[in-house]
Amino acid sequence: MKALVLGGGGREHALVRALSLDPGVTDIHCAPGNPGISELAENHVINATDGLAVTELAARIRAELVVVGPEAPLVAGVADALRERGIPVFGPDREPARLEGSKAFAKEVMEAAGVPTAKARVCRSASQVSEALDEFGAPYVVKNDGLAAGKGVVVTDDRALAERHARECGRVVIEEFLDGPEVSLFVLSDGVHALPLLPAQDFKRAHDGDQGPNTGGMGAYAPLPWAPAGLVDEVMESVVRPTLQEMNRRGTRYQGLLYVGLALTSRGPRVVEFNARFGDPETQVVLDRLATPIGAVLQATDTAGLKGIGSLQWKPGAAVTVVVAAENYPGDPARGDTVGGLAEANALEGAYVLHAGTSWSGSRDVVASGGRVLSVVGTGTDLAQARERAYAAVSRIELRGSFHRTDIAERAAAEL
Ligand code: AMP
Ligand code: GLY
């Protein structure tokens, strides 16, 4: 199988790596990719949100599977363009991708489907905002309705800050605060049948102890030794099946990946958010543990269906990923500094580097070019070993001003 992956972050590096380990995948292309991905795939310089450009590239390289990594191409209708040309694609069409593209739409679908989630109000004016903040009380949860690269949500006890964020966003969703640990569950869907992947946990705040601003994610681990037995079955029953049914009822079949972000509250699991694509960095650890070759599984969501796939097989042991971020992330990050120590980190046992915001300098050095520059995945027989190996490799990375969280998977590893 020839595969094309759209995107160029850590998630796409993990996807390309998983495809490269699949004996059924012969050729891998990526657009735009990054220097790390270029070791496993041929990178192409195209605009990945341009349906025509993507379709032309996919046809030219005879792609039998296009995997759409990030949300922007999905929301722009790139999957629709590929499907129209009969090219198998992993990812939902534009309309169903609104489950991620609009928080208000996601809430509407959840309500219609009876999915447990936070109570919410969609607000368009300062007075509506003020009423909703009064109704739900502190801590306040204020979400930009549209796409915001993981940075559109403010959770705060500071009323003035909540009001300021609402003003800056325009249309916002204000909702009840959900207490309890968060879990990311990724589900593959052909529209009717769904297959869950391993649940993972992401660390969204920039700094240790869940301090600092929300980010796209600073680290992740899987599996979750503390997750209640039956969690995945419960979420498939109470969230995934009714959501897929509701999407079918609307005539917008949901194919690809449904990312279910959950809070495990005292009243049971509640949906915090839906995304229409693999989560980053959780994908890095989840795909690391996947033993089933991935190419045919992703393709089946758009062609033969998932019924024939059976269940997925997982490797024993654990994986931990730690993001190395550029100075000032998630604000405007420092760019252009050389990244050192990549070979040294990759040479360590049970650890490897995935590139995210990196590019080549004129002299072919790897330099930082984005907020989350790279991540280091550590693997082991348990979380403690995986964590140790990830941090040993992180310590080899040299990047001026960079930072990382030191507490990824710390509690989960200690509780074993
Ligand atoms: P979202 O983009 O909706 O996932 O929000 C980003 C992060 O904000 C989530 O991962 C949570 O940590 C936090 N968050 C979002 N909604 C809520 C909520 N209703 N209650 C508590 N925390 C929330
Ligand atoms: N890790 C969170 C996300 O991908 O949205």
Cα(383) to centroid of ligand 1, in Å?
Answer: 25
Cα(142) to centroid of ligand 2, in Å?
Answer: 17
Q: Is 141 in the pocket of ligand 1 (CB under 6 A)?
A: yes
Report pLDDT for 146.
Answer: 75
**One-letter identity of residue 64:** E
Cα(263) to centroid of ligand 2, in Å?
Answer: 14
What are the tokens at 390?
């990830």
Q: Is 150 in the pocket of ligand 2 (CB under 6 A)?
A: yes
Beta strands in 62-217 (DSSP E): 65-68, 89-90, 120-123, 140-144, 153-156, 172-175, 182-189, 194-196, 201-202, 205-207, 211-214
Q: What single string gives the DSSP state of each residue in 30-83?
A: EEE--TTGGGTSEE----TT-HHHHHHHHHHTT-SEEEE-SHHHHHTTHHHHHH
Report pLDDT for 416.
Answer: 59
Cα(273) to centroid of ligand 2, in Å?
Answer: 10
Kindly list the domain boundaries of the chain, sorted by start residue: 2-90, 120-175, 180-308, 318-414
Q: Is 389 in the pocket of ligand 1 (CB under 6 A)?
A: no
Atom of ligand 1 nearest to the CA of 120: 19
Q: Is 327 in the pocket of ligand 1 (CB under 6 A)?
A: no
Tell the residue nearest (CA) to atom 4 of ligand 2: 279
CATH tag for 318-414 (out of 3.30.565.10, 3.90.600.10, 3.30.70.20, 3.40.50.300): 3.90.600.10
Is the CATH number 3.40.50.20 carried by domain 2-90? yes
Atom of ligand 1 nearest to the CA of 272: 16
- Of 359, 372, 355, give the one whose Cα is nearest residue 202: 372
Query: How far apart are alpha carbons 286 and 284 in whole angstroms?
Result: 6
Query: Are residues 263 and 272 in contact, defined by beta-carbon separation less than 8 angstroms?
Result: yes
Query: Are residues 386 and 317 in contact, defined by beta-carbon separation less than 8 angstroms?
Result: yes
| First-to-final CA distance of the chain | 41
- Give the Å distances, CA to CA, from 107 to 45, 125, 268, 272: 36, 19, 18, 10
- 239 φ, ψ (degrees, to nearest 5): -120, -55
Question: Whole-model pTM?
Answer: 0.94
Q: Are strands 2-7 and 65-68 parallel, antiparallel or unpaired?
A: parallel
Tell the residue nearest (CA) to atom 3 of ligand 2: 279
Domain 318-414 in the same topology as domain 180-308: no
- Of 136, 183, 182, give the one whose Cα is nearest residue 156: 136
- Of 248, 245, 244, 284, give the one whose Cα is nearest residue 260: 244
What are the tokens at 373?
């520059």
Ligand nearest to the CA of 261: 1
Instruction: State the CB neighbour count (10 A cutoff) for residue 303.
Output: 12
CATH tag for 180-308 (out of 3.30.470.20, 3.40.50.2000, 3.90.1300.10, 3.40.50.300): 3.30.470.20
Query: How far apart are alpha carbons 179 and 117 in whole angstroms?
Result: 12
Q: Is 273 in the pocket of ligand 1 (CB under 6 A)?
A: yes
From first to last of its 416 residues, what are the pLDDT tens digits of the chain? 999 999 999 999 999 999 999 999 999 999 999 999 999 999 999 999 999 999 999 999 999 999 999 999 999 999 999 999 999 999 999 999 999 988 889 999 999 999 999 999 999 999 999 999 999 999 999 998 877 665 688 899 999 999 999 988 878 999 999 999 999 999 999 999 999 999 999 999 999 999 998 899 999 999 999 999 999 999 999 999 999 999 999 999 999 999 999 999 999 999 999 999 999 999 999 999 999 999 999 999 999 999 999 889 999 999 999 999 999 999 999 999 999 999 999 999 999 999 999 999 988 899 999 999 999 999 999 999 999 999 999 999 999 999 999 999 999 999 85
Ligand 2 pocket: which of 202, 218, 257 to mutate (most atoms within 8 A of CB): 202
Q: Is 152 in the pocket of ligand 2 (CB under 6 A)?
A: no
Helices vs strands, H then E, count in the chain: 15, 22
Tell the residue nearest (CA) to atom 5 of ligand 1: 153
DSSP 311: P
Cα(279) to centroid of ligand 2, in Å?
Answer: 4
Ligand nearest to the CA of 272: 1
Reduce the DSSP state of residue 225 to 3 states and report it: coil
Tell the residue nearest (CA) to atom 5 of ligand 2: 279
Cα(273) to centroid of ligand 1, in Å?
Answer: 7
Query: Are residues 249 and 88 in contact, defined by beta-carbon separation less than 8 angstroms?
Result: no
Tell the residue nearest (CA) to atom 15 of ligand 1: 272
pLDDT in tens, 353-391: 999 999 999 888 999 999 999 999 999 999 999 999 999
Query: How far apart are alpha carbons 259 and 247 in whole angstroms?
Result: 15
Rounded to 5°, angle at Cα 157 from 151 and 158: 85
Q: Is 202 in the pocket of ligand 2 (CB under 6 A)?
A: yes
Query: How far apart are alpha carbons 52 and 69 in whole angstroms?
Result: 17
Tell the residue nearest (CA) to atom 9 of ligand 1: 272
**One-letter identity of residue 269:** P
Q: Is 261 in the pocket of ligand 1 (CB under 6 A)?
A: yes
Containing H/E element for 127? helix 126-136
Q: Is 139 in the pocket of ligand 1 (CB under 6 A)?
A: no
Ligand 2 pocket: which of 184, 197, 283 to mutate (most atoms within 8 A of CB): 184
Q: Is 306 in the pocket of ligand 1 (CB under 6 A)?
A: no
Q: Is 71 in the pocket of ligand 2 (CB under 6 A)?
A: no
Ligand nearest to the CA of 120: 1
Q: Is 219 in the pocket of ligand 2 (CB under 6 A)?
A: no
Containing H/E element for 325? strand 318-325
CATH tag for 120-175 (out of 3.40.50.10140, 3.30.1490.20, 3.30.565.10, 3.30.930.10): 3.30.1490.20
Beta strands in 161-312 (DSSP E): 172-175, 182-189, 194-196, 201-202, 205-207, 211-214, 219-222, 256-265, 268-275
